[in-house]
Structure 1
Amino acid sequence: MICKAGLIIGALLALPAYAEMQALDDATLSTLNGQGGVYLSGELSINKDGGVLWNTPASNNPSTWTAGQRSCATAGASTPENCGMRIAIRAEAAGGWYVLDNLKGVFSFEGLTLRTRTINSGFNGDGTAFNQDVLEFGLPNEVKFKDGSFAFGVANQGGWQNKSLSAANGGNPSYQQTNIFSAKIDGSIRMQGNLLVFPTN
């Protein structure tokens, strides 16, 4: 979090010497408006050296893996590879799963903001009827990626399982996952705009 300490100190020095802090009653507080927010910068490393949920097997032949082994090497590779983090989301109670699989890399950002915002207009007239506060995430100006990678897919279960193993060995022959696309990212992405999070009853 970045605080403009110099501006705050300068403002305090400009106050008259006889000023002192006093408590405000409820009636006075109700007439005041305030605005606040958070400005964030940081760097995150996501499973840079592989995840902790699975051991890396000795080979890329799934039929030889134990229940706790998994390799995320590309098809046809001779050397196994550590797997990254997995995020699974189920949109419906009886539906399938969307997964971000083998998520790895380092990314940094500057200028991510978080504040509340009152929606009381716009949105084709719905804003006036809504008239409530929402969370507003201001997108960072630039996001930098280093050795980033992930795969996006659909699966019939949230947790990964080895379908090549028998059920007795902890496998699940009915497990299915189809990767729709995978990506490797190195470089920077410029971003603009914000994301609004609306409360629901």
Structure 2
Amino acid sequence: MISRPLCLAALLALPLLAHAELQALEDSDLSRMSGQGGVYLSGEFSINKNGGVLWNTPASNDPATWTVNQRSCAAAGASTPESCGLRLAIRAEQNGGWYVLDNLKGIFSFEGLTLTTRTINSGFGGDGAGFNQDVLDFGLPNEMRFKNGSYTFAVANEGGWRNKAGTIANGGSPSYQQTIVFSAKIDGTLRMQGSVLIFPKN
């Protein structure tokens, strides 16, 4: 049980705490301080593990029967349709085709991702001494874990996905072409070493 005098003392101290404020340090005080900063991160995130929000899963794997907002990402010849994951498309040239990461989904977790600053003043074939600036140093995670991860790498003539078997009236595009380079499914743990340096540019 907390005594009555102790409660009274705590209540009397509240106004003092309420008037506390942060004060700026003088340059002379800052010059005497030193420290080292950085961020160490661990976490887990999921990407469309139950399918994306752009397309509904159709009742069949026959593209000719799909409506404008339906798509299946099941393998060719599969008996049941499958929901689709995230799609990322990058166009390297103004009039060129698209590089596509398609059907990206799964659960990804990591441990030991670090973010620090680092001074580059040596190495790099002698260029480091001339550079002599700070860079961002992303330390790769010690461990990456994947659960039901999947993605497809492809090239396409459009950034967005189109139903080649559909008509223009229902959102399809008979001229749409996408060529799958490879597909991958990932389950397990990956150990990583090293770091990625980001150099500033004026």
- Residue 187 of structure 1 is matched in structure 2 by 188
Residue 109 to residue 26, structure 1, CA distance change in 2 (3 Å):
same
In structure 1, stretches of 5+ residues that fail to align are 1-20
**Residue type of the alignment partner of 1:80:** P
Q: How does 1:1-201 map to 2 (within 5 A)?
A: 24-26=25-27, 29=30, 33-201=34-202
**Residue type of the alignment partner of 1:56:** T
Task: Please give the alpha-carbon distance, in whole angstroms, between the structure 2 residues aligned to 1:64 and 1:102.
Answer: 21
**Residue type of the alignment partner of 1:135:** L
Q: How many residues align?
A: 181
Cα deviation code 1:65-105 (max 9, x no counterpart): 12211000000012110001112222333332221111111
How far the C-alpha of 1:113 sits from its partner, in A, is: 0.6
Residue 128 to residue 93, structure 1, CA distance change in 2 (3 Å):
farther
In structure 2, stretches of 5+ residues that fail to align are 1-21
- Higher mean C-alpha deviation, range 166-175 or range 34-43: 166-175
Identity of aligned residues (%): 75
The structure having more radius of gyration, on CA atoms, is: 2
How far the C-alpha of 1:122 sits from its partner, in A, is: 1.6
- Residue 3 of structure 1 is matched in structure 2 by none
**Residue type of the alignment partner of 2:113:** L
TM-score (norm 2): 0.81
Cα deviation code 1:126-182 (max 9, x no counterpart): 222323222111111111111111111112222111122122221122221111111
Task: Please give the alpha-carbon distance, in whole angstroms, between the structure 1 residues aligned to 2:104 and 2:82.
Answer: 13
Residue 26 to residue 167, structure 1, CA distance change in 2 (3 Å):
same
